[in-house]
Chain A
Amino acid sequence: MGEMVLDITDLYVSVDETEIIKGLSLQIHIGEVHAIMGRNGSGKSTLANAIMGHPAYTITSGTVRFNGKSVEDMEVHERAKAGMFLSFQYPSSIPGVQVGTFLRKSVSTVRGDDAPSAREFRKELLSHMKSLNMDKSFLGRSVNDGFSGGEKKRLEILQMLLLNPCLALLDETDSGLDIDALKVVSDGINSISPAAGCLLITHYQRLLDHVVPNFVHVMIDGKIVKTGGPELALELESRGYDWIEA
């Protein structure tokens, strides 16, 4: 078992004074892939956003430790620099900011002294883009502006590959992807997972056909109510969630 990268203990999270996460605990180690499944509104995205530090999500109780350090003391950009990455369900568009410029800036900031030279960066960038079947013309477009759902998700995975995180939170990265794109994106996730802890938030088994999780957690009403192996996702696919609540 690798080192623990994320340690969540008895977490409570509120949005606009409404409690969404209600006593959730979870530990993720390097090299582990955890999948969280649950109905809409069960708190899956809230969990990812709270870990990343979105200002609208307030941790009211409990702790989130990232690489042994409480995230309470870390700004969002400090979490990113420390190796935390969130692939957003709905990535924001930044009109007028070219993808190429944005990626270079982000990589330089997050990787700091280990950031590649301009030449090495371009080589690395083009290699990852090729693996994700992304055209070079992406680089001249504005970040997520006018992108299709699939293009947005590919850009999220491209960023993940370039930033090389030790914790990847992937919030419904499979939504909006066709079968071919799902395979490409899954390959991207698989390529980082040996050296990182991954938390996949998903509704569907289909992503887990390509990215095999070590653990599958079922989230209902802000809590993890059941944990199992990959077979649990298959069971959910065939039986739904009612049997767990019963």
Chain B
Amino acid sequence: MIQYHEIAIPPRSEHLWRYTPWHRIHPTKVEEIPTSVPMNFSIGIDHEIESSEEIARNFIHNTSSVCKLVELDNESTELEIRCSGHVCSGELKIVSKGNSSLIIRISGEAGWSGLRIFGSITGTFSVAIINDLATDSHLLKCEDWLVDRDSELEYAGMSSGGFLNKSDIRINLNKQGASFRGGLASNGHGSRHDDNHVEISHDFSNTTSSLVIHSACDDSSHSVGTGLLTIVEDANGSDAGQVFRNLLLSEKSRAESIPELEVLADDVKAAHGAASAPVDVDQIHYLQSRGLSEGEASALIVEGFLMDAFKDIKNEDIVSVLRTRLLVHLECLIRG
């Protein structure tokens, strides 16, 4: 397997590295592989997964001394991942069968955390991944999901913690009838930088995917959402859609949303869209006319906007946990 030092540093011209280049998310100097503290996983058994030729995955693999396997078979559970130390890393493999769900919460005060997730889905799997890291933490997260024949991955990501975050999420609809339904909510505040890249690959016919990314950007935060939707030749009957929405709450906040399509099959449906806008004054007025102050109205609109990213998530337990976590997060922000 190729070594980290043999991999060329990716140029910023690459879609994936345009807004958060490798040197920015690397914890030290790009030529270094620092010693790391192992992540603490609340569940899972020791396991190993292969390295990768992709630089971020390869780097996390090389720095990690811990890899856990979580197997689910018609069950629902929660996984706490604690990150500590200057540099912290870990790998996680999830194998889900039947109708299962998992809530993953990433927390802690590590300076830099690197997490690699590999998931294999047979049946229906609902997952929530909540970034609840300390406000000065950096996070590099790489995820690879393989969705089997007639199986479904329901994915909810909430990014509210950390200072600098880069997520590279790849979903491979690996057999006929595989489907993905995902929502990502990102709350930008202070100088937070949150970069979410999502690649969805329709490799077989009659596969479906839908992705919604909502970013609320306040203060001088910067939100990035890039997507690559690929429908290979012969993947006829596929249906795919991506929507990126940004709510700009201050003049200094920035948001970039770049959904891209590569459609090589003829008989498919594929749609994408992106929009950025400030808070609607009519929404504020409406809520004020119901007794809420301007600040309360704005906070409620932000809460709703972020939760709206999960409106297609059917697993009610997951939506309930996300709503609670979001309310706690927003309350903490208001109280400073």
Residues of A within 8 A of B (CB): 52-56, 75-77, 79-81, 85-86, 88, 91-97, 102, 105-106, 109-110, 142-143, 159, 163
Verify B289–A52 contact, CB threshold 8 A: yes
Verify B281–A97 contact, CB threshold 8 A: no
> In the bound complex, how far is the Cα of B285 from the Cα of A76, in angstroms?
7
Q: Which of A55, A56, A81, A102 meets B300, CB within 8 Å?
A: A102
Verify B292–A96 contact, CB threshold 8 A: no
Q: List 9 A-B contacts (CB under 8 A).
A: A53-B285, A80-B291, A86-B289, A91-B286, A94-B283, A94-B301, A96-B311, A97-B307, A106-B290
Pick from A52, A80, A88, A96 the residue with the most CB of B within 10 Å.
A96
Verify B286–A95 contact, CB threshold 8 A: no
Verify A88–B286 contact, CB threshold 8 A: yes
> In the bound complex, how far is the Cα of B294 from the Cα of A76, in angstroms?
9
User: Interface residues of A: mostly helix, strand, loop or mixed?
Assistant: mixed
Verify B281–A55 contact, CB threshold 8 A: yes
In the complex, the number of residue pairs spanning A and B with C-beta atoms less than 8 Å apart equals 83
Query: A15 to chain B: closest CB distance in Å?
Result: 13
Report the nearest A residue to B302, measured CB to CB: A96
> In the bound complex, how far is the Cα of B108 from the Cα of A219, in angstroms?
64
> In the bound complex, how far is the Cα of B309 from the Cα of A88, in angstroms?
27
Report the nearest B residue to A108, measured CB to CB: B291
| 0/1 interface trace, chain B 292-306, chain A, CB 8 Å (1 if under) | 111011001101111
Q: Hey, which chain B residues are within 8 Å of A93, CB to CB?
A: 283
The 3 closest A-B pairs by CB, nearest first: A96-B304, A96-B308, A97-B304
User: Interface residues of B: mostly helix, strand, loop or mixed?
Assistant: helix
> In the bound complex, how far is the Cα of B295 from the Cα of A57, in angstroms?
21
> In the bound complex, how far is the Cα of B310 from the Cα of A97, in angstroms?
12
Verify A76–B288 contact, CB threshold 8 A: yes
Residues of B within 8 A of A (CB): 280-283, 285-294, 296-297, 300-301, 303-309, 311
Do A92 and B282 contact each other (CB < 8 Å), given the known contacts A102-B300, A142-B304, A142-B308?
Answer: yes
Verify A110–B304 contact, CB threshold 8 A: no
Report the nearest B residue to A94, measured CB to CB: B304
Q: Hey, which chain A residues are within 8 Å of B290, CB to CB?
A: 80, 102, 106, 109-110, 159, 163
> In the bound complex, how far is the Cα of B287 from the Cα of A54, in angstroms?
11
> In the bound complex, how far is the Cα of B292 from the Cα of A110, in angstroms?
8
Verify A76–B289 contact, CB threshold 8 A: yes
Verify B300–A80 contact, CB threshold 8 A: no
Q: A77-B294, A109-B291 are in contact. List 6 more A-B contacts (CB 8 A).
A: A75-B288, A77-B291, A88-B289, A92-B280, A94-B283, A95-B304
Q: Which of A91, A96, A159 meets B305, CB within 8 Å?
A: A96
> In the bound complex, how far is the Cα of B304 from the Cα of A75, in angstroms?
23
Q: Which of A94, A109, A110 meets B286, CB within 8 Å?
A: A94
Verify B281–A109 contact, CB threshold 8 A: no
Report the nearest B residue to A95, measured CB to CB: B308
Q: Hey, which chain A residues are within 8 Å of B300, CB to CB?
A: 94, 97, 102, 105
Q: Which of B283, B291, B301, B308 meets A110, CB within 8 Å?
A: B291
Report the nearest B residue to A84, measured CB to CB: B289
Do A109 and B289 contact each other (CB < 8 Å), given the known contacts A96-B303, A97-B304?
Answer: no
Report the nearest A residue to B281, measured CB to CB: A55
Verify B292–A105 contact, CB threshold 8 A: yes
Report the nearest A residue to B316, measured CB to CB: A140
Q: Which of B281, B287, B294, B296 meets A94, CB within 8 Å?
A: B287
Query: A193 to chain B: closest CB distance in Å?
Result: 20
Query: B50 to chain A: closest CB distance in Å?
Result: 40
Do A80 and B286 contact each other (CB < 8 Å), given the known contacts A96-B311, A97-B300?
Answer: no
Report the nearest A residue to B297, measured CB to CB: A77
Q: Hey, which chain A residues are within 8 Å of B294, CB to CB?
A: 75, 77
Q: Hey, which chain B residues are within 8 Å of A105, CB to CB?
A: 292, 296, 300
Q: Hey, which chain B residues are within 8 Å of A159, CB to CB?
A: 290
Report the nearest B residue to A87, measured CB to CB: B289
> In the bound complex, how far is the Cα of B283 from the Cα of A143, in angstroms?
11
Verify B291–A96 contact, CB threshold 8 A: no
Report the nearest B residue to A110, measured CB to CB: B291
> In the bound complex, how far is the Cα of B289 from the Cα of A163, in angstroms?
11
Verify A54–B303 contact, CB threshold 8 A: no
> In the bound complex, how far is the Cα of B308 from the Cα of A143, in angstroms?
11
Verify B285–A54 contact, CB threshold 8 A: yes
